[in-house]
Amino acid sequence: MATLTKYPTAPLKCWPKAKEIRQQYYKDYAEAHDRGGIRWSGGAWAFDAVPMGLGDDVHVMTGEPYAASIAWDRKFAQECQDATDAKGWARDLCSYMRIYWGSMYLNRFFFGGEFPKPDFYYQSQICCSHSKWDQEASLYEKVPYFCVDVCVGPYETLDESRLNYVVNQLHDSIAGMEKATGRKYDDEKLIAAVHNECRSTSLWAEICTLNKAVPAPLDEKTMFSLYVLATLQRSSKQVADYYEELRDEVKDRVARGIAAVPYERCRIITDTQPPWGFLKIYRYMEQFGVVSVGSVYTFGLEGIFAEQEDGSWGPRKTPQQLGIKIKNRDEALRVTADWNLSRPCWQHFYDPRIKTRMMLKMVNEWKLNGVILHLNRGCEGLTVGSMENRLGLIEAGVPVMTYEGNMADEKEFDERRTTSRIESFMETLGLKQIPEAAVAHAA
Amino acid sequence: MIEQFKEWYINRHAYAKQWKERTGGKVIGTFCTYVPEEILVAANMLPARILGSHEPQDVTEPHIFGMFCPFCRDSLAQGLKGRFNYLDGVVLAHSCIHFRQTFNSWRIHLPVEFAYYIPMPNTAQTPHAPAYHRAEVDKFKKAIEEYAGRPIAEQDLDRGIEILNRNRRLLRKAYEHRKLDNPPLTGEEAMYMAVTSQFIDKEEHSNLLEAVLKELPQRKLPRDAGIRLMAVGSENDDAEFFKMVENVGGTVVIDEQCAGSRYFWNESVPNGDRLAAIANRYLDRPACPVKDYPAHSRFQHVLNLAKDYRAQGAIIMQEKFCDPHEGDNPRLKKYLEENGIPTLSLEFDSTNPLGPFRIRVEAFLETIRGEELF
């Protein structure tokens, strides 16, 4: 490890704006019906550009970030999970799903008032739990469920037939939404939303790529609060515009050598959602001079990447950047289908080796010293293949640590054991606590 | 004669090795029950479903995290222990996340000559699934042709379809006998009969079925059928459990499981387009919860079976950590009970606590008998 250097740090100027966008998002969703608007709920991986064609007053609430918000409030999270348990659902099911259902069963909205019933549910079917989540929610709320199957294999094997399968379902989902809402669909709005979706997710990938810099301008704990905007509504102009602003600011931080972690001397990535109620483990690692610069999860849950001309990993070029003009509904649906199918976090569903390759790319290009894998009992979809990733990384000579936990069910996370494992891992990396960092942390 | 199914079940690996020796053919391990076996049979290959052994194991921890279902880990353990070392290839048609890990760890650590993944639709109900799946079945056929080094002709496909359909028809005929007041075969025997069709040469299996079918009308079991039960839920081939249930006053007269009826219930309906017939058969079959979208088509099928076979109660067998079934069971339980079928939910592992299970099953049977009194 390098000798101890203290890098300059500075808060993100656009941080408050991210919070505002998020707050407004939930407010808009809750109040949409009061203004005659439409509400839909579903997954953060749903093709969220598609319902945008129903009008400018269409508001979404994606289930995962909603449940993650609740996970911060351990008391309410527990109440929600208890309500779900009481309905007979298994306790080992997706903890986001159990929290969302619980909030729905209790008829309590985390941000105040009654649980806002959506007009329909919209989901992409890649994760077994995701599909059940909205199937149950739609049955309980007695509203339609549109489910788009995207299990067409890894992007590297995509062909016309596989793409058509997804596109045809998207066409059907529009017809279903028109019927469910009684609205006429506007293709121009869809086209605009698809452009925004591509712009925001490519920009997020660009922001993640800027984290290759030493010192890293962003740490993962901070990134959690930023990537979330794309999980809320990546097809909104507001989110795409925000990411442009953020990209410019992060670029400036890189140019000025502004660090996220002042004593950065060791760079790692993690994996899957963190235990949301215990993000302090990231601060604990900082005391050793460790910065987590991201993860396949933080980068690729929403960020859309592609191999660059020099072979490195970076943002995928948007249709606009490639000079592609989207002329009609079908073209828009083809673009959004193809774009989403290239999502990094969808690839490991088919083969863990694809994710291991991504991780190894990150190890090399983001200049990492190790990887910490969260064996997340709360999410089968993102933990699938984790043990094979571990073996693949070890085989490549990368130090790996694992810890067990649950992103949203604190009963399955042992804080003391985890910090103890982290400490041991730090020792294997030759790191000791930095007194100055520990003092700063205590302050 | 019916004991042969049990013999095959117990000695399935020896059977596959002998089959290979005898025929010189390839044995292809199939993961889950959505692989279009017609193609393999058309290429003179033996499809052999990968199943667990219901023994404790400690070899899968480095490969599959313990939060995933015991079945997927038990199945991988069989490979890691070398019990399937005769396989020439492995195929998975997209099913649940859990079992995909078994397939992936298998193809990474247990290299075979041929490994193929079929991205079969999960939203099997969408009208776009048939065309898409036909294309995937076609790709699979081409991959098998390349591997086998010879084309699969239309008459080969016809033969593959007919061999599979014949086996399905015969199994359904055998199941018909379970509708009788005193079924001539127990649930345990029916399980052996059905699950062995997933790894025994289909023609050989069908020949035995035909012979058994001739015997069944005369077969009288020296036991009272007792309470008629349905087994419903996750993968289950735990013979000891069936035996226990049938020793305490019940008979499993029907199942809705992939080791049983879900596997063989429907046939490929021949039409001009053979690949479409094959593809549609797997889309139209009784759905596993993984593929039952957007509506719960499965529930009505379960209820129909319960009614047709006059089940007095249903045991919902839940493989631990099996998210797809966990995502169905509370509503399925409610649905059955609302329709007059009492249920007992049990959580299964690779090895099961038969003592506590027996007490619960006995109590369940008592409650059903109690209702009969009034």
Query: Rounded to the nearest 10 degrees, what angle do helices B187-196 and B3-10 cross at?
Result: 60
Determine, yes or no, domain membership for B86.
yes
| Statement to judge: residues B164 and B121 lie in one domain | no
Determine, yes or no, domain membership for B126.
yes
What backbone phi and psi angles, to 5 degrees, belong to B156?
Answer: -65, -45
Longest dimension (CA), chain A: 65
Cα nearest neighbour of B135 on chain A: A161
Look at B97 and A131 and tell me if their CB atoms are within 8 Å: no
| Statement to judge: residues B84 and B123 lie in one domain | yes
Residue A180 has pLDDT above 60, yes or no: yes
| Statement to judge: residues B124 and B49 lie in one domain | yes
pLDDT band at A443 (very low <50, low <70, confident <90, very high): low
Determine, yes or no, domain membership for B197.
yes
B218 burial type by CB count under 10 A (0-12 exposed, 13-18 middle, 19+ buried): exposed
Q: How far apart are CA A84 and CA A101, in angstroms?
A: 6
ipTM for this prediction: 0.95
| Statement to judge: residues B203 and B76 lie in one domain | no
Determine, yes or no, domain membership for B11.
no
For B266-300, the pLDDT digits (tens) are 999 988 999 999 999 999 999 999 999 988 899 99
Look at B119 and A381 and tell me if their CB atoms are within 8 Å: no
Determine, yes or no, domain membership for B319.
yes
Determine, yes or no, domain membership for B14.
no
Domain stop point among B106, B122, B151: B151
Terminal CA-CA length for chain B: 41
Percent of chain A exceeding pLDDT 90 equals: 96
For A93-124, the pLDDT digits (tens) are 999 999 999 999 999 999 999 999 999 999 99
pLDDT band at B374 (very low <50, low <70, confident <90, very high): low
A353 touches chain B (CB under 8 A): yes
| Statement to judge: residues B188 and B247 lie in one domain | yes
* Domain extent at residue B105: 23-151
Name the residue among A132, A151, A162 with its Cβ closest to that of B324: A132
pLDDT band at A392 (very low <50, low <70, confident <90, very high): very high
| Statement to judge: residues B210 and B324 lie in one domain | yes
Determine, yes or no, domain membership for B79.
yes
| Statement to judge: residues B217 and B134 lie in one domain | no
To probe the interface with A, which of B90, B102, B293 has the most A CB atoms within 10 Å? B293
To probe the interface with B, which of A85, A131, A138, A169 has the most B CB atoms within 10 Å? A131
CA angle A241, A163, B123 (to 5 degrees): 100
Query: Count of CB contacts below 8 A, A vs B?
Result: 131
**What's the number of domains chain B is made of?**
2
Residue-averaged pLDDT of chain A: 96
| Statement to judge: residues B168 and B198 lie in one domain | yes
Residue A1 has pLDDT above 60, yes or no: no
Q: Is the peptide bond before A154 cis (omega within 30 degrees of 0)?
A: no
Residue B373 has pLDDT above 60, yes or no: no
- Please report which helix (H) or strand (E) contains residue A383, including its range: helix A380-383
For B162-206, the pLDDT digits (tens) are 999 999 999 999 999 999 999 999 999 999 999 999 999 999 999
User: Whose structure tokens read 């299996």?
Assistant: B205
| Statement to judge: residues B164 and B198 lie in one domain | yes
| Statement to judge: residues B131 and B177 lie in one domain | no
| Statement to judge: residues B210 and B115 lie in one domain | no
pLDDT band at A3 (very low <50, low <70, confident <90, very high): low
Percent of chain B exceeding pLDDT 90 equals: 95
pLDDT at B270: 87
Cα nearest neighbour of B346 on chain A: A90
B294 burial type by CB count under 10 A (0-12 exposed, 13-18 middle, 19+ buried): buried
For A145-163, the pLDDT digits (tens) are 999 999 999 999 999 999 9
Structural contact between residues A316 and A208, judged by C-beta atoms closer than 8 angstroms: no
Neighbouring residues of B355: CB distance < 8 A, sequence distance ≥ 6: none
The neighbour count for residue B159, using CB atoms within 10 Å, is: 17
For B310-353, the pLDDT digits (tens) are 999 999 999 999 999 999 999 999 999 999 999 999 999 988 89
Question: pTM of this prediction?
Answer: 0.96
Look at B331 and A139 and tell me if their CB atoms are within 8 Å: yes
pLDDT at B333: 97
CATH number of domain containing B59: 3.40.50.11890
Neighbouring residues of A173: CB distance < 8 A, sequence distance ≥ 6: A47, A50, A122, A146, A148
For B98-125, the pLDDT digits (tens) are 999 999 999 999 989 999 999 999 999 9
pLDDT at B223: 92
For A260-318, the pLDDT digits (tens) are 999 999 999 999 999 999 999 999 999 999 999 999 999 999 999 999 999 999 999 99
Structural contact between residues B205 and B167, judged by C-beta atoms closer than 8 angstroms: yes
Name the residue among A128, A149, A161 with its Cβ closest to that of B96: A128
Determine, yes or no, domain membership for B103.
yes
Name the residue among B127, B293, B330 with its Cβ closest to that of A87: B330
CATH number of domain containing B234: 3.40.50.11900
| Statement to judge: residues B88 and B218 lie in one domain | no
pLDDT at B371: 59
Domain stop point among B151, B179, B203: B151
Domain stop point among B103, B135, B151: B151
User: Whose structure tokens read 């015997």?
Assistant: B215
